[in-house]
């Protein structure tokens, strides 16, 4: 009797699971068929391929490229975007010496307090300061950017799928809105103050193309500052800001894996040695 009850209970749960699976599958299929086509679904593109020196298990940051990327950030991106999690002294990891870091910091105005009056003011940055926000508050940021607040870039390559490739694609992806899109989705026409970019989720950005031409930045190492090159360099730099300890993590990871492999082999040999005399004996 107990066995029959057990079988019946098992059959009940099996049927319940199959019913739930069938119901879920039907819902997914029916919703997919009824879901209307959208401009974002049809014209949104996945990021382009981007190869950086830091990619892969053995990759390392290219400090020269990181310095070029920082130059693009400083001369172009810092006008709208902050790096609130990065201090000026952190730039030492890019190869800048102490004097260069102090000079870079002094070129930024950071919030301060007047020692005589106690009132809020600004002062020249120091090596221990963090990169300041370009706007005093979100209201000022919206007023200057078509009612959009430019995001902080410190962790941007971690916050977006495909990371650096997304940033690179976005910076090089501005283009004229396709006639096919307007014809098929008339309501999706890019509005005033917006810019069409198929690599952005809703296809329209409040940010105008930040990289415009070869005269925008002059690299000290002689590299030609094309839009494509600047986009690659600043993407590499933002990869570093999001994970500045990447090189050390990889350098530490391989010895740890080697130790774990050695310990595993050692444990297996010890097990063989301990149980060697027990083989062939019955329990």
Q: Is 80 annotated as a binding residue?
A: yes
Q: What percent of the chain has pLDDT over 90?
A: 64
Q: Is residue 279 part of a domain?
A: no
How far is the C-alpha of 207 from the C-alpha of 227, rounded, in Å? 16
How far is the C-alpha of 101 from the C-alpha of 127, rounded, in Å? 6
Q: Work out the pLDDT band at 251, boundaries 50, 70, 90.
A: confident
Q: Is residue 130 part of a domain?
A: no
Q: Is residue 63 part of a domain?
A: yes
- The candidate with the shortest Cα–Cα distance to 74, out of 108, 33, 117, is 108
- The pLDDT score that the predictor gives to residue 67 is 98
The tally of domains found in the chain comes to 1
- The pLDDT score that the predictor gives to residue 97 is 97
163-172 and 227-242 are packed helices; what angle lies between their axes, rounded to 10 degrees? 150
Q: What percent of the chain has pLDDT over 70?
A: 92
Q: Is 156 annotated as a binding residue?
A: no
Enclosing domain of residue 148: 42-86+138-246
- The candidate with the shortest Cα–Cα distance to 95, out of 138, 74, 66, is 66
Q: Is 195 annotated as a binding residue?
A: no
- The pLDDT score that the predictor gives to residue 227 is 96
Which CATH number covers residue 170?
1.10.760.10
- DSSP class of residue 186 equals G
Q: Is residue 98 part of a domain?
A: no
CB count, 10 Å around CB of 108?
19
Q: Dihedral angle at the C-alpha atoms of 229, 232, 234, 238, nearest 10 degrees?
A: -170
- The candidate with the shortest Cα–Cα distance to 102, out of 114, 87, 82, is 87
- The pLDDT score that the predictor gives to residue 35 is 53
Q: Is residue 214 part of a domain?
A: yes
Count, residues in the chain: 283
- The pLDDT score that the predictor gives to residue 34 is 47
Q: Is residue 127 part of a domain?
A: no
Strand-pair partners of 109:
124
Whether the per-residue pLDDT at 33 is higher than 60: the answer is: no
Q: Which residues contact 176 (CB under 8 A, 6 or more apart)?
A: 196
Q: Stretch 30-58: mean pLDDT, rounded?
A: 82
pLDDT digits (tens, 9 = 90+) for 171-229: 999 999 999 999 999 888 888 889 999 999 999 999 999 999 877 999 999 999 999 99
CB count, 10 Å around CB of 82?
20
- The pLDDT score that the predictor gives to residue 114 is 83
Q: Stretch 255-275: mean pLDDT, rounded?
A: 90
- The pLDDT score that the predictor gives to residue 282 is 54
Q: Stretch 114-129: mean pLDDT, rounded?
A: 89
Helices (runs of H) and strands (runs of E) counted in the chain: 10, 4
- pTM to 2 decimal places: 0.81
How far is the C-alpha of 233 from the C-alpha of 73, rounded, in Å? 9
Q: Stretch 88-117: mean pLDDT, rounded?
A: 94
Q: Is 41 annotated as a binding residue?
A: no
Q: Is residue 100 part of a domain?
A: no
Whether the per-residue pLDDT at 170 is higher than 90: the answer is: yes
Q: Is residue 99 part of a domain?
A: no
């Amino acid at each position: 009797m107990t066995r029959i009850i057990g079988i019946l209970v098992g059959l009940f749960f099996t049927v319940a699971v199959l019913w739930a699976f069938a119901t879920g599958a039907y819902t997914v299929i029916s919703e997919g068929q009824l879901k209307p086509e959208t401009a974002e679904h049809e014209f949104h593109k996945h990021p382009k391929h981007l190869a950086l020196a830091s990619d892969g298990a053995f990759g390392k940051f290219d400090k020269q490229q990181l310095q070029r990327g920082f130059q693009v950030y400083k001369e172009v991106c810092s006008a709208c975007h902050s790096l609130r999690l990065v201090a000026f002294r952190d730039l030492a990891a890019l190869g800048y010496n102490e004097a260069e870091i102090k000079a870079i910091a002094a070129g930024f105005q950071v919030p301060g307090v007047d020692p005589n009056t106690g009132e809020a003011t600004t002062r020249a940055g120091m090596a221990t300061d963090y990169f300041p926000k370009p706007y005093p508050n979100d209201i000022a940021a919206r007023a200057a950017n078509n009612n959009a607040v430019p995001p902080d870039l410190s962790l941007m390559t971690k916050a977006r799928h495909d990371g650096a490739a997304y940033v690179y694609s976005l910076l090089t992806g501005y283009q004229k809105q396709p006639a096919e899109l307007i014809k098929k989705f008339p309501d999706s026409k890019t509005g005033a103050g917006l810019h069409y970019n198929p690599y952005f989720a809703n296809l329209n950005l409040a940010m105008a193309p930040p990289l415009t031409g070869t005269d925008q930045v002059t690299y000290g190492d002689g590299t030609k500052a094309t839009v494509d090159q600047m986009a690659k360099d600043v993407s590499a730099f933002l990869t570093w800001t999001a994970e500045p300890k990447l090189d050390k993590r990889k350098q530490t990871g391989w010895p740890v894996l080697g130790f774990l492999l050695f310990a595993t082999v050692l444990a297996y040999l010890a097990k063989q040695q301990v149980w060697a005399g027990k083989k062939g004996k019955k329990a």
